[in-house]
Amino acid sequence: MRLWSLHPSYLDPRGIVALWREALLAQAVLAGRTKGYRHHPQLERFRRTPDPSGAIRTYLLAVLEEARRRGYSFDERRIDALALSRGAPAEPVPIEVTAGQLDYECRLLAAKLAARDPDALAALDRGSEVRPHPLFRRVAGETEPWERVKTLPSRDQRAPGESKQAAATDNPPRATRRG
């Protein structure tokens, strides 16, 4: 499960569809409708809010808005009825996300996009500071404690639009002498 802290506009078509499905799963978990994924670390930040179900609905509504902007037909009825029956939901308190978390997710997404959507990668690389999802508010700090960190290249270790594979082949490792 990956509930991106990044704005959904950075995701490629495959990524936004996956985000929609995973956020719907998170909604079911937070509502107690499923036994799987109950202890997934991505859900911690939603659980720490006064209204976890409201927070995930707000998250989903922003994903839905981006999907509609692209002309996709995601089914809004999948979002719990409470959010939609009142029209616009009450704005939950923004969830804080650290700059380190946003940077980590940016690098993670860049690695995925390098392999599957160079145009989306170029859009991600254009700005120096990525926008968070509308539910989140950037604060100073390192990667969030709940994140399962993988080793990734930093954003400045490759040129915009350059894939990890291209960066690796342009600068082959030096041979070491055994002996």
Q: For residues 149 and 104, is the Cβ–Cβ distance under 8 A?
A: yes
**pTM for this predicted structure:** 0.78
Neighbour-count burial of 134, counting CB atoms closer than 10 A to its CB (0-12 exposed, 13-18 middle, 19+ buried):
middle
Please give the pLDDT value at position 37.
87
Domain residues of the chain, as ranges?
8-93, 96-162
> Which residue has 């079911």 as its token pair?
28
pLDDT for the residue 64: 96
pLDDT tens track, the chain, 179 positions: 799 999 999 999 999 999 999 999 999 999 999 888 888 898 999 999 999 999 999 999 999 999 999 999 999 999 986 544 444 455 677 999 999 999 999 999 999 999 999 888 987 776 668 899 999 999 999 999 889 888 766 655 444 444 444 343 333 333 333 33
Predicted pLDDT at 8: 96
Nearest to 46 by CA among 148, 144, 149: 144
Neighbouring C-alpha atoms within 13 Å toward the C-beta of 12: 15
Burial class (CB in 10 A: 0-12, 13-18, 19+), 4: buried
- Angle in degrees, 0-180, between the axes of helices 99-116 and 13-30, rounded to the nearest 10: 130
